[in-house]
Amino acid sequence: MNKILNITQLAPEVFRMEVEAPLIARERKPGQFIILQIDDDFGERIPLTIADADPDRGTITLIFQAVGKTTHLLAEKRPGESIAALLGPLGQPTHIEKVGHVVCVGGGIGVAPLHPIAQAMKAAGNRVTIIMGARNKDLLIMEDEMRRIADELIIVTDDGSRGRKALVTEPLKQLCEQTPKPNMAVAIGPPIMMKFCAETTRPYDVHTVVSLNTIMIDGTGMCGGCRVTVGGETKFVCVDGPEFDGHKVDFDNMMKRLRAYKPREDADHQAHHCRLDAAAARLR
């Protein structure tokens, strides 16, 4: 059991949770993730990136969006309660080296997994430009943390309520057009955003790393639930990833597989809310 030390809301439906996990806190590296099972033996297992860790306190920080049944249940947890199982750290760590100029692109909740990578890229001596994007200003997270790392911070929103009214691909393209062009890009966010970031950098031949967040079950390469096609080959996100060359990922196939369980997930989510409404009515 892993005790929850605190939970705060960062944006509508977005939460930051600090959990006791001393071994994971000591071992984790940027880019790695955990698989979490919330309370019983048969609960859904979901992958979450480790946004930060404090080895001295023996804690890790998870940032998640309450989008499905399990993440809503997680958001209802309170300090002092526990999570039944945390498995990790899993996946390959980010390859960190000094390459020169790295552009880090984070969309929505994707800023959370981007944070430790941007931090490590900066610590390795790179010039780091960070592009953060969200639908509107209320959905931007970790702006202060990213500002502390970035040599240049570019904020964009779909509706122009904060920063430039643009998609993240617009400043990314402008950076690629500069001389010298960036040496590398790291893009993390919704699959469609990562796909178009990769398409933006492709003509400029800027190596682009993406971090994939697929359905996962065992997290050890056994079940095949997380398989994706990269460069024409089958890869498992949990053991081969989560990071891959964005120019080689078959995003259309990945997005199709992600949609496969949506109707079941929506039904479970709806049933969960019905039970909450009924419980609230009994208390009135």
The residues that touch ligand FES, with contacts defined as CB under 6 A, are 216-219, 221-226, 236, 238
- Which residue, 93 or 221, is less far from ligand FES as judged by CB? 221
CB of 37 to ligand FES, least distance (A): 13
CB of 35 to ligand FES, least distance (A): 8
- Which residue, 190 or 225, is less far from ligand FES as judged by CB? 225
- Which residue, 17 or 237, is less far from ligand FES as judged by CB? 237
- Which residue, 58 or 221, is less far from ligand FES as judged by CB? 221
CB of 227 to ligand FES, least distance (A): 7
125 and 146 Cβ atoms separated by less than 8 Å = no
Upstream peptide bond of 113 is cis (omega within 30 degrees of 0): no
CB of 264 to ligand FES, least distance (A): 18
Question: What sign results for the dihedral spanned by CA atoms 18, 21, 22, 24?
Answer: negative
Q: What are the tokens at 100?
A: 């020169």
In whole angstroms, give the CA distance from residue 57 to residue 107: 29
Which segments within 124-218 are labelled E, that is strand? Answer: 127-134, 152-157, 164-165, 184-188, 207-211
209 and 31 Cβ atoms separated by less than 8 Å = no
- Which residue, 18 or 240, is less far from ligand FES as judged by CB? 240
CB of 225 to ligand FES, least distance (A): 5
